[in-house]
Structure 1
Amino acid sequence: MSVNLYNTGVSGLLASQQQLATTGNNIANVNTEGYTRQRAEQNATTGIYAGGNFIGSGTYIEDISRVYDQFSYKEQLLSQTSLSHADSLNVGLSQLDQMMTFSGGAINTSITSFYEAINSISDNPSDLGLRNMAISQAQILSDDLNSINDNLNQIVKSTNGEIAEIAGHISDISAEIGKINEQILFSQHSVQGQPNDLLDARDSLVNELSQYTSVNTIVDNLGVMTVMIGNGSTLVAGTTALSVGVQAGDPDPNKTVLSIVGPNSAVYLNGSTVGGVLAAKYEFRDEHVAEVQSEMNRIAMAISGTINDAQHSGLDLNNEEGQNFFTDINTPLLEQSRVFASSKNPGTSEASVTITDITKVPTDEFMVEFDGTNYTMTNLKDNSTLDLGTPGSLNTNAADTYGFQFNEDSGTPAAGDVFIIKPTHNSAALMDVTLTQASGLAASSAIDVTASTTNIGGASVEISNVIGATDARQYAIDNNLAVDIYETTPGSFAYRVYDSSTSTDIATGSYVLGGSVSVELPPGVADFSIEIQGNPSGASAIAPETFSIADSFGTGNNKNSLALGLTQEQGILNNGKDSFTQGLSISTATVGSAAKSAELTESTAQALFTQAYNRNQSTSGVNLDEEAANLLKYQQAYQAASQIISTANTIFETLLSAVR
């Protein structure tokens, strides 16, 4: 009996010793990141049958297990992914907001200063000093737009670098998890019990991985983990660790793409849907930065195109048609840079995009696909489509809808050809002041309308658009242009444009009282247009009301500079709704709003993660108060087991003394 009692005491002593060791290990690792609280699983040994009864024979430690709640751990992983995504996006948008606040303010100031210089020319059109000042302010404006484009390009480059760095981290984590899986598999074959430290190390790696991307894991009956990221792409398959590769985008090389790389193949990985920091980088680059850059390009394009058109409408100090103030928005380099062809295109086609109407050009990107018969263009923002026609017979659908024309430049298309179109691309980067001579600034109007002194009605004729100042002026001189508005029958009116020297009609038509009629001159060629409007007199005795159109050049003529100055407040962007400064303000405000929203989202994600982390720690984390209580309990058990052994020893000594 003393022997059994001795064995029972020893088993209790050893069990308590292991309980104390486990508790001590928990306490020692209370501040160890990723440590999961361990527990010694104690069971009773099988009783010994004696005297018709089963007599207990002690205890043993079956296993040292982790106190692990799979569901709270999964919740923590998901919350970590959301928090990392929100935090990364918040940091990026804050940076973009600061840049737009500073650079946007500088551009707005430059626009204002440029127009102030233009308006000062209206006061003294022949002053070369004022003209040089306008050119200098134009260069500052151009430089500011170049600068913000460079800054945005740098942000894109930096973001691509961060994506590549994250991909490298993910690959390293994958390799480490594969190694740990191999060690766990070996330990399961060689010894009993869980390799808790290896499991903690693996979970720590998965937790780190969840910062970069969303993670899903499956553990088999041997304890080996399969890790999937994003929408189910396998990163670690047992002991086989795959890596994440980064390649230049196709057709846009600045949009780097990801792939899961194995020993013999690579599979595309959609970076925008993988979650975590990685998805935030893609969202920041492809949505927020891309939208701002496209808007800045559109503003640069609108300023260049509008000012250049105004220059061509007037005459400079040399009595010549004004030339481009800024870089032409449809130079071959700009037209070609707006189209990105896929390197996988089976055809040899090269294409370009010509801007036809600045007011209609959006900031969206488009994809053009050739199916072997037709070109189809898809707006990548709303997925709406347009038929562009067949090779050699392209229609104007894109120009009519979006203000740009897709051109076939050379080569032969083939089914499967794909092109990406960025209508505003490079407009800010390539913007420059091309007007170098102060005398070349076109302040004078080319032609003007003069009403007859006999007119007493309310009709008016105005020059509404001058496409080519030199041609318009010469046409007015050659044809001695005049306009009559008269009553044909009571209440009915007509107009005619004619050569006053020969009374030869050039254009005629009816006119509705109080209405408006636009007339292109010459008809069908349109060097310029006139607008007839108002209320002519209905009294036939004083009809017609007559207007003459003639050359108006003069060094003191400021009408074209006045018209140029009015473009500052003119609706140009978004189908003529917004001016340059309004478009800039909207873009700045949009970034600011997105930054504020990201900040609020980050705060919410932080609160949710804290809750999930605390829930997981309440189960798996080390509680010092609890461990202190356990330490006391197991110490008492150890002492009690020692007493059992002491008692067994006393009994054994008594028995020996009895038989001596």
Structure 2
Amino acid sequence: MTVNLYNTGVSGLLASQQQLATTGNNIANVNTEGYTRQRAEQNATTGIYSGGNIIGSGTYIEDISRVYDQFSYKEQLLSQTSLSNADSLNVDLGQLDQVMTFSGGAINSSIESFYEAINSISDNPSDLGLRNMAISQAKILSDDLNAINDDLNQMVKSTNGEIVEIADHISDISVQIGNINEQILFSQHSVQGQPNDLLDARDNLVNELSQYTSVNTIVDSLGVMTVMIGDGATLVAGSTSLSVGVQAGDPDPNQTVLSIVGPNSAVYLNGSSVGGALAAKYEFRDEHVAEVQSEMNRIAMAISGTINDAQHSGLDLNNEEGQNFFTDINTPLLEQSRVFASSKNSGNSEATVTITDISKIPTDEFMVEYNGTNYIMTNLTDNSTLDLGTQGSINSNAMDTYGFQFNEESGTPQAGDVFIIKPAHNSAALMGVTLTQASGVAASSAIEVTASNTNKGGASVEITNVSSATDAQQYAIDNNLAVEIYETTSGSFEYRVYNSVTSADIIPAESYVPGSGTTVQIPPSPATAIFEIEVDGLPSGSSAAAPEIFSIADAFGTGNNGNSVALGLTQEQGILNGGKNSFTQGLSISTATVGSAAKSAELTESTAQALFTQAYNRNQSTSGVNLDEEAANLLKYQQAYQAASQIISTANTIFDTLLAAVR
């Protein structure tokens, strides 16, 4: 009896000692990041049969386990992934917003200053100083667009560098988790009980991993964890650790891609859906920065193309057709840079893209694939497709909707060959001022319309487009151009274009509807139009004998400001998005879009932070150390320890009494 009582006391003493040690360990690690509260699981030992009864024989500590709720822990992981994604995007978009606010404002000021210089030329077309000022302001404008393109390129490079760093960090975590899995497996074979410190270390690594990517884990019966990231790609399987690699994009090397790399193979990993900070980097680079860069390129292209076209419509001080103010939007280098051929293409075909209509150019990217017979173009934004025709016979009209032309230059394509098209690519980077002489500013209009003094009614003739100033000038001189407008019968109207000296028809009488603004090409089809006029209004004449007459003649003069006025009007002209937006409107829309995205990211980050805090607190309420609770446990187990000591003391007294009785 005394021996049993002694054993019972010792078991209680040892159990209380382990309870005190566990509680003390919890208190010591109250500030240890990622520490999970531990609990000693105490059970009664099997009783002893004596005198027809089963008498209790004490207690023992069955296990020291972590107080762990897998559901609240997984909720914390998911919240951590969302928070890291939102936080990364918030920081990056904040930087992009600052760039757009500063650089966008500089570009807007440069546009204003350039047009102020052009408008000054309109006031005094022969002033070389004003013309030089316009060239200087054009240089500042092109420099500002070059600068913002450099800033955006640097953002892409920086983001790619961050992607590499994150991928390397994920690979390091993978190795560490694999090593811990191996240690846990060894400990299961060598000792009983849970390897709590190893489990905490592994959970801390998984928690860190969840900052960079979404994580799913499966733990087998031996405690070994399988870790999957993104859409389910395995990163760690037991002690086998895979790594995340980063490769140059194909065909665009700046669009780096991810893969899960094993000993003998690599599997593509979708960076945009991998979750966490890594997915935020891909979204920032491939959506937000790409959209802004495409818009800046499109604005640079629109400015260059519009000003250059206006130059060609007028005459400079030397009575010559105005030359390009800015870099031609269809230089061979620009045409080539808009097409990216995949390195996997088996053919040797080379292609270029020519801009045909600036107003139709989208910010979208396109993929052209040769299927063995035809080229099929896919809009990568909405996945719509166009059949461009066969090799050697591309249908140029098929791409009218988008304002560019895909050209085969050389070589032969093979089935499966792929090309990526970025219609406005490099326009901002390669924009420059090519006009060097002040006299080269085409301020004078080439031709002008003069109404006859005998005109009584409201008929009108306006020059709407000049494709070549010198050709238009010479054609008007050679053909003594004139236009007659009259009413043939009540409510029916006609016009004709003729030689005012010989009266020979250039365009015989044709009907028109007043108010419709009928466009007339001169010379008429099938010849290539040199310029266009618009016929409109209600003439007072009622027959061919009483028409309203307009002459079209050479307008050159050093004091003529007709073309500089027209050039100045392009500032407010709708050029972008199908003729809906001017340059500054397009710039403002882009800046506002980035600002809105940055504000939205800030709000999303705040929400994600609140959700993470809630999830973290829920998990800590179960797994975290509560000092008040541990202090109470410390007192309880101390008292139990003291009581167990009294049991041992009592057993000793009884044993001593028995020994004394038999002496």
Q: Same fold (TM over 0.5)?
A: yes
* CA distance in structure 2 between the aligned counterparts of 1:596 and 1:486, rounded to whole angstroms: 61
* CA distance in structure 2 between the aligned counterparts of 1:243 and 1:543, rounded to whole angstroms: 88
Match of 2:206 in 1: 206
Q: Deviations over 1:369-403 (max 9, x none)?
A: 11111111111111111111111111134531110
Match of 1:229 in 2: 229
Q: What SS class does the counterpart of residue 535 from structure 1 fall into? A: coil
Match of 1:439 in 2: 439
CA contact (8 A) 1:135 1:436 kept: yes
Structure 2 unaligned spans of 5+: none
Q: 1:269-288 maps to which residues of 2 (within 5 A)?
A: 269-288=269-288
- Picking from 498, 515, 531, the partner of 1:528 is 531
* CA distance in structure 2 between the aligned counterparts of 1:181 and 1:418, rounded to whole angstroms: 44
* Structure 1 residues 431 and 117: alpha-carbon distance in aligned structure 2, compared to 1, 3 A threshold: same
Amino acid across the alignment from 1:148: I
Q: 1:583-622 maps to which residues of 2 (within 5 A)?
A: 583-622=586-625
Structure 1 residue 491, shift from structure 2 partner: 2.2
Match of 2:239 in 1: 239
1:261 matches 2:261: yes
Structure 1 residue 539, shift from structure 2 partner: 3.1
CA contact (8 A) 1:485 1:543 kept: no
- Picking from 637, 640, 648, the partner of 1:634 is 637
Amino acid across the alignment from 1:594: A
* CA distance in structure 2 between the aligned counterparts of 1:73 and 1:481, rounded to whole angstroms: 85
Match of 2:390 in 1: 390
Q: What SS class does the counterpart of residue 558 from structure 2 fall into? A: coil
Q: 1:360-371 maps to which residues of 2 (within 5 A)?
A: 360-371=360-371
Q: What SS class does the counterpart of residue 459 from structure 2 fall into? A: strand
Q: What SS class does the counterpart of residue 346 from structure 1 fall into? A: coil
CA contact (8 A) 1:398 1:406 kept: no
Match of 1:20 in 2: 20
CA contact (8 A) 2:541 2:548 kept: no
Match of 2:513 in 1: 512
TM-score (norm 2): 0.99
* CA distance in structure 1 between the aligned counterparts of 2:523 and 2:494, rounded to whole angstroms: 19
- Picking from 544, 551, 556, the partner of 1:553 is 556
Q: What SS class does the counterpart of residue 32 from structure 1 fall into? A: coil
Match of 1:106 in 2: 106
Amino acid across the alignment from 2:642: Q
CA contact (8 A) 2:288 2:594 kept: yes
Structure 1 residue 487, shift from structure 2 partner: 2.2
Task: Give the CA RMSD over aligned residues.
Answer: 0.8
Amino acid across the alignment from 1:480: N
* CA distance in structure 1 between the aligned counterparts of 2:278 and 2:515, rounded to whole angstroms: 62
Q: 1:469-508 maps to which residues of 2 (within 5 A)?
A: 469-508=469-508
CA contact (8 A) 2:299 2:583 kept: yes
Q: What SS class does the counterpart of residue 537 from structure 2 fall into? A: strand
Structure 1 residue 500, shift from structure 2 partner: 1.5
Aligned length: 660
Q: Deviations over 1:474-505 (max 9, x none)?
A: 11111111111122223212111111121111
585-594 vs 523-532, which deviates more?
523-532
* CA distance in structure 2 between the aligned counterparts of 1:507 and 1:364, rounded to whole angstroms: 42
Match of 2:189 in 1: 189
CA contact (8 A) 2:486 2:544 kept: no
Structure 1 residue 511, shift from structure 2 partner: 1.7
* CA distance in structure 2 between the aligned counterparts of 1:214 and 1:637, rounded to whole angstroms: 46
* CA distance in structure 2 between the aligned counterparts of 1:133 and 1:514, rounded to whole angstroms: 41
TM-score (norm 1): 0.99
515-524 vs 101-110, which deviates more?
515-524
Match of 2:628 in 1: 625
* CA distance in structure 1 between the aligned counterparts of 2:238 and 2:622, rounded to whole angstroms: 28
197-206 vs 381-390, which deviates more?
381-390
Amino acid across the alignment from 1:23: T
Structure 1 residue 254, shift from structure 2 partner: 0.4
Match of 1:167 in 2: 167
Amino acid across the alignment from 1:611: Q
* CA distance in structure 1 between the aligned counterparts of 2:372 and 2:8, rounded to whole angstroms: 87
Amino acid across the alignment from 1:307: I
Structure 1 residue 517, shift from structure 2 partner: 1.3
Structure 1 residue 507, shift from structure 2 partner: 1.1
* CA distance in structure 1 between the aligned counterparts of 2:654 and 2:485, rounded to whole angstroms: 137
* CA distance in structure 1 between the aligned counterparts of 2:202 and 2:397, rounded to whole angstroms: 57
Structure 1 residue 431, shift from structure 2 partner: 0.1
Q: 1:376-415 maps to which residues of 2 (within 5 A)?
A: 376-415=376-415
Q: What SS class does the counterpart of residue 603 from structure 1 fall into? A: helix
CA contact (8 A) 2:488 2:542 kept: no
Q: Deviations over 1:602-650 (max 9, x none)?
A: 0000000000000000000000000000000000000000000000000
Match of 2:148 in 1: 148
Q: What SS class does the counterpart of residue 33 from structure 1 fall into? A: coil
Q: Deviations over 1:5-30 (max 9, x none)?
A: 00000000000000000000000000
- Picking from 643, 646, 650, the partner of 1:643 is 646
Amino acid across the alignment from 2:529: A
Structure 1 residue 319, shift from structure 2 partner: 0.3
Q: Deviations over 1:110-151 (max 9, x none)?
A: 000000000000010000000000000000000000000000
Q: What SS class does the counterpart of residue 41 from structure 2 fall into? A: strand
* CA distance in structure 2 between the aligned counterparts of 1:344 and 1:398, rounded to whole angstroms: 26
Match of 1:573 in 2: 576
Amino acid across the alignment from 2:319: N
CA contact (8 A) 1:17 1:638 kept: yes
* CA distance in structure 2 between the aligned counterparts of 1:170 and 1:513, rounded to whole angstroms: 72
Match of 1:64 in 2: 64
Amino acid across the alignment from 2:579: G
Structure 1 residue 542, shift from structure 2 partner: 6.5
Q: What SS class does the counterpart of residue 537 from structure 1 fall into? A: coil
Q: 1:23-102 maps to which residues of 2 (within 5 A)?
A: 23-102=23-102
* CA distance in structure 2 between the aligned counterparts of 1:195 and 1:398, rounded to whole angstroms: 68
CA contact (8 A) 2:482 2:551 kept: yes
CA contact (8 A) 1:361 1:574 kept: yes
CA contact (8 A) 1:461 1:533 kept: yes
366-375 vs 394-403, which deviates more?
394-403
- Picking from 630, 653, 657, the partner of 2:656 is 653
Q: 1:321-400 maps to which residues of 2 (within 5 A)?
A: 321-400=321-400
Structure 1 unaligned spans of 5+: none
Q: What SS class does the counterpart of residue 430 from structure 2 fall into? A: coil
CA contact (8 A) 2:446 2:555 kept: yes
Amino acid across the alignment from 2:601: A
* CA distance in structure 1 between the aligned counterparts of 2:387 and 2:514, rounded to whole angstroms: 41
Amino acid across the alignment from 2:512: Y
* CA distance in structure 2 between the aligned counterparts of 1:630 and 1:486, rounded to whole angstroms: 108
